[in-house]
A and B are shown apart, each in its own frame.
Chain A
């Protein structure tokens, strides 16, 4: 009685439509929230009281609230209660709620599974339909295993309404638990004989899923089931059938079924010539007979084209397909153009030439106002670039890049860089393209593009002046695009002298002074828009300019001091190191800041060739620098690119300086071979070596934040007794150097050569020649004789004086000629291991 009374006192809950009206009448978000909170509280209350009468209404309201984005999970169990109710109305809303509200909680799923099992055996088709629909939506692994048997039974039902739903449930089950597939295989046999299009549609869907998931099933359907002729027959009936109001969609008979069948044919015909053969005719028929004025017709054509492209179709058919796509590209409907681009993208790998024919249309699509179409057109354009059309395509793509949305730019720039790298007709074009990319969308390029561009410039020695001018102009105008500024800084630093020289062909020479260049770089250093990496690039560039420029060195030095107090650790360290270079190691500055060798991996061979070419000229391009310098700069560059201040990579590099010197040695060999007698003609490279440049390494060690370069003990140079050195030992001829510092001039090292002969035959006409890098001056005094007596019986001595004003490590190339047993012997060698005490 009290319960009844309670019931009586409770007001009936608002109807769904009243709640909706109420929500619609509120003005603000806050009011809406208040209304919904109040309603939710009342719904909760009724749920708690186990109210059966209005549960259905409450859940319906809750679903509406859920759609608006408010939490409604507390209704989950109520949905389950509704499902368990015998009333169809309750079940219906309960299943709807289950589909919308249930999360992935296992325990709730278990409860649903039980109700589903009951309802799948219900005698009302709509209840079974509801259960199947819910199963198809949720379909967890456990549910699949528990209910697969029921679904399989329903798949054989005579009721089309149930059959089609069961087929889709089977698809979901197979997707979740592939091993359950075998259970459904026999049932598929009769599905395609159905008349009902819903069943056909879902059956094709089920078979497609099976073929997709298992190659065994695919083979089964191909061979045993004669699937292809069956599908061909259905398709033929569809296109031949007259107007049927039930399945007509804008004048085409059931396009959905046609599309599904075409998709399944694609799977069956792929890599199977027999199956492909069987469907060639029908595909041609569909391709020619389909009405194309409406979207539906085009969707079938599109599907047909994809199928033709995927199977082993006849060549005539393929041409037909690509032509259809070509027609699509010219279609007024954007959607059609979009799918055409999409499918051309898919076929571009297999039918490149066919697609190339539509290149101009595709390029036109780059200018389409529609972003989706532009995106596809961009992808397709890049796929079509080859060495024949690269100039034209790149022109279009760079034009596109200038106007492109920001989201395209990153992809577009890196694709342009890749394509330019792959197909560049020449270096000049390549650099021009990269310059355009950097200046039009510099902010969007990736870091690897920066490194790539730098190595590109460093390799193209004849274009360096041109490039640096362009880049300098670009940063004079705009310093906001960091990657551009980074590349430009590097180039200005490296080729700053070329900027002044005005040696550029076909270009109006740039009129700049050293101060203007430094102004620009300083502006970058002080700009708040510059990143730390950019500033590091620029600082290094300014430092390098101290050896390229002649009049502004004090200013550079002042700049270094200024940034020595930078708050940025990296910048501060760099500038302090560079400042130190000015003050304590000024004699080595020019060597350390020598121009970088080409940065490419092919550096050995390239450097050799270029170096040799330029030797004849005066000093246009100096040959590669010593490895130590390379390491220093290379490392700085590594740092810059890596963005990290860690100097760690220097260690492995230091330990293997042997590789690059090989090339340099040859180079020097050539050089010396040309002109041995006059002391060090032409540009004199610092010949690299394993152990000679001790002080440099020491200093580097210091520079590199205490990275141990090499144990100092090895050279243990005390000025008093400088240890002697064996400069050459071969075929019994041994040449020893003993050393002495000139007392009158500390810059002069005196080397006394002692040649001995351990063979039993004298060596006649002995001539010793030597060459040193340009920074030294060499004086060879006349030898004590021209015959080296046998069996160490006597010696030939000769005095060599080396003037070393810069106190640089001495390196020497030697050449020996003598006559031994009647034959002339020529030999060359290199001496790098001079003790440091000789010049320190």
Chain B
């Protein structure tokens, strides 16, 4: 079973954190830090498996990672997973991201972390591999985005009304009205 999937950059800044077993927030951050510490020290020409992270799991668990440009993709798995298989899975995950974002880069992950989560949800569920067909995953994601967009047309209306009302030049505008804090519009 996959215990956790963590993506962080070369400086250890987390870009995606997904745990399939409950850890409190402090523990999660500690695990990310420890994992970064372990993984970042390693040369490019060593194997992609690491044992002995003290926080997650114990002896039965392994860290399996791949390093792409500025990002580390780290999977923490127990002994019931095939090590080489997980390496392939990471590859599939990254290729899917690439398809979904069209030449994925770190910035995509930063600004669309929710979408990355959705993609991951179609790939891995409850710590187990759900689907490895990239076309299928991307199609499903697109379908769901379409669904969201259609809702935005209808349900987005109230929000638009509010903002429209805000911009109305009402003559009886109360004198104590607080003008929108400009910097927050940035």
**A165 interface residue per 8 A CB criterion:** yes
Asked if A334 meets B184 with Cβ closer than 8 Å, knowing A9-B177, A88-B151, A126-B144, the reply is no
Q: Compute how far the CA of A769 lies from the CA of B32 in the bound complex, rounded to whole angstroms.
A: 85
**Which of A11, A104, A296, A342 has the most chain B CB within a 10 Å cutoff?**
A11
Q: Compute how far the CA of A375 lies from the CA of B178 in the bound complex, rounded to whole angstroms.
A: 66
**B49 interface residue per 8 A CB criterion:** yes
Residues of A within 8 A of B131 (CB): 164, 198, 201
Q: Compute how far the CA of A278 lies from the CA of B129 in the bound complex, rounded to whole angstroms.
A: 27
Residues of A within 8 A of B135 (CB): 245-246
Q: Compute how far the CA of A205 lies from the CA of B130 in the bound complex, rounded to whole angstroms.
A: 10
Contact B49 A338 (CB under 8 A): yes
DSSP majority for the A interface?
helix
State which of A67, A73, A103 has its C-beta within 8 Å of the C-beta of B17: A67
Q: Compute how far the CA of A259 lies from the CA of B135 in the bound complex, rounded to whole angstroms.
A: 21
State which of A126, A299, A370 has its C-beta within 8 Å of the C-beta of B46: A370
**A7 interface residue per 8 A CB criterion:** yes
State which of A71, A124, A335 has its C-beta within 8 Å of the C-beta of B48: A335
**A249 interface residue per 8 A CB criterion:** yes
- Shortest distance between the CB of A499 and any CB in chain B (Å): 43
**A371 interface residue per 8 A CB criterion:** yes
Q: Compute how far the CA of A8 lies from the CA of B168 in the bound complex, rounded to whole angstroms.
A: 10
Q: Compute how far the CA of A334 lies from the CA of B83 in the bound complex, rounded to whole angstroms.
A: 12
State which of B82, B148, B181 has its C-beta within 8 Å of the C-beta of A299: B82
Asked if A136 meets B184 with Cβ closer than 8 Å, knowing A7-B162, A63-B114, the reply is no
**A171 interface residue per 8 A CB criterion:** yes
The stretch from A13-21, A517-525, A556-564 touching chain B is A13-21
Contact A299 B85 (CB under 8 A): yes
- Shortest distance between the CB of B16 and any CB in chain A (Å): 7
> Per-position contact with A for B4-41: 1 when CB-CB < 8 Å, else 0?
00000000001111101010110011001000000000
Interface residues of A in 296-348 (CB under 8 A from B): 296, 298-299, 302-303, 334-339, 342
Interface residues of B in 39-97 (CB under 8 A from A): 43, 45-52, 82-85, 87-89, 91-92
- Shortest distance between the CB of B69 and any CB in chain A (Å): 18
> Per-position contact with B for A361-386: 1 when CB-CB < 8 Å, else 0?
00000000111110100000000000
- Shortest distance between the CB of A425 and any CB in chain B (Å): 33
**B136 interface residue per 8 A CB criterion:** yes
Contact B165 A8 (CB under 8 A): yes
Q: Which residue of B lies closest to A371 (CB)?
A: B46
Count of chain B residues near A, Cβ 8 A? 69
Residues of A within 8 A of B24 (CB): 103
Residues of B within 8 A of A245 (CB): 135
Contact A96 B117 (CB under 8 A): yes
State which of B85, B110, B159, B184 has its C-beta within 8 Å of the C-beta of A53: B159
Q: Compute how far the CA of A375 lies from the CA of B50 in the bound complex, rounded to whole angstroms.
A: 10
Residues of B within 8 A of A233 (CB): none
Q: Compute how far the CA of A126 lies from the CA of B43 in the bound complex, rounded to whole angstroms.
A: 42
Contact B126 A137 (CB under 8 A): yes
Asked if A373 meets B144 with Cβ closer than 8 Å, knowing A9-B177, A139-B126, the reply is no
Q: Compute how far the CA of A245 lies from the CA of B46 in the bound complex, rounded to whole angstroms.
A: 31
**A601 interface residue per 8 A CB criterion:** no
**A579 interface residue per 8 A CB criterion:** no
**A720 interface residue per 8 A CB criterion:** no
Contact A254 B151 (CB under 8 A): no
Q: Compute how far the CA of A339 lies from the CA of B17 in the bound complex, rounded to whole angstroms.
A: 27
Q: Compute how far the CA of A522 lies from the CA of B61 in the bound complex, rounded to whole angstroms.
A: 49
Contact B128 A168 (CB under 8 A): yes
- In order of increasing CB-CB distance, the 3 nearest A-B pairs are A299-B84, A136-B126, A334-B47
* Given A20-B110, A137-B126, A256-B88: 9 more A-B contacts, CB < 8 Å: A12-B166, A67-B113, A164-B131, A165-B125, A168-B130, A295-B84, A296-B84, A369-B46, A375-B51
9 sampled A-B residue pairs with Cβ under 8 A: A9-B178, A16-B114, A20-B110, A53-B158, A72-B25, A201-B129, A205-B129, A334-B45, A334-B46
